[in-house]
Amino acid sequence: MELLLSPQAWLSAGLIFGLRVTDMTLDTLRVLFVMRGRKAIAWILGFFQALVFVIAITSVLRDLTNPLNIIGYAAGFATGVVVGMTIEGRLAVGHVQMRIISSRRGPGIAEKLRDEGYAVTEIPARGKDGMVTMLNCSIQRRDTSQVQKMVDAVDQEAFITTEEIRPVRRGFWRA
């Protein structure tokens, strides 16, 4: 009880929390960059992550009698993961391919996306109830939501799947 009232205990737990948030943010970004094949960024992130980790783990191990340290450590870890994911989502590095299947408005969607400057490939295809249009549209990942809104504006029912692609060679990308 005494411990929970001591400002030092809270301060050290807070410090550990902060360190762990930093190092796990870097670690999460590193994992997501490794998956996209970005070696240089992964190296830099890995280096700093390990550096901060060593400082954080030694601070916890120095004083295990303080349960706040342990909780700060675990909460910092978990929070860092979420912060890293949020940052990565904002950066939205890389490219995705959207595949849009529309039973009636295929050409309309293609026209709209082309007007907006995206490269679209139309493929005639057959669905359960006859001919449909499949559209392939490779875009920068950060444009995903925008393209989805454009498709929705033309055809609410269009079936859209999005998958990550890498690496990309040439092609025509919206500025």
Q: Give the footprint of another protein on this chain (CB under 8 A).
A: 20, 24, 28, 31-32, 35, 57, 60-61, 64, 70-71, 73-82, 84-86, 89, 99, 101, 123-128, 132, 134, 144, 148, 156-164
Cα end-to-end span (Å), the chain? 60
- The least CB distance from residue 64 to another protein, in Å, is 5
DSSP reduced 3-state for 8? helix
- The least CB distance from residue 48 to another protein, in Å, is 19
Nearer to another protein, 103 or 175 (CB): 103
Nearer to another protein, 73 or 175 (CB): 73
In the chain, the largest separation of any two C-alpha atoms, in whole Å, equals 75
Nearer to another protein, 134 or 175 (CB): 134
- The least CB distance from residue 113 to another protein, in Å, is 15
- The least CB distance from residue 46 to another protein, in Å, is 15
Q: How many CB atoms lie within 10 A of CB 102?
A: 22
Question: What tokens were used for 22?
Answer: 């930093």
Output the CA angle 114-120-123, nearest 5 degrees: 130
Spatial distance between the Cα atoms of 147 and 102, rounded to a whole number of angstroms: 15
Nearer to another protein, 128 or 169 (CB): 128
Query: Is the separation of the CB atoms in 29 and 90 below 8 Å?
Result: no
Nearer to another protein, 138 or 175 (CB): 138
- The least CB distance from residue 104 to another protein, in Å, is 14
CA dihedral 24, 30, 35, 37 (to 10 degrees): 180
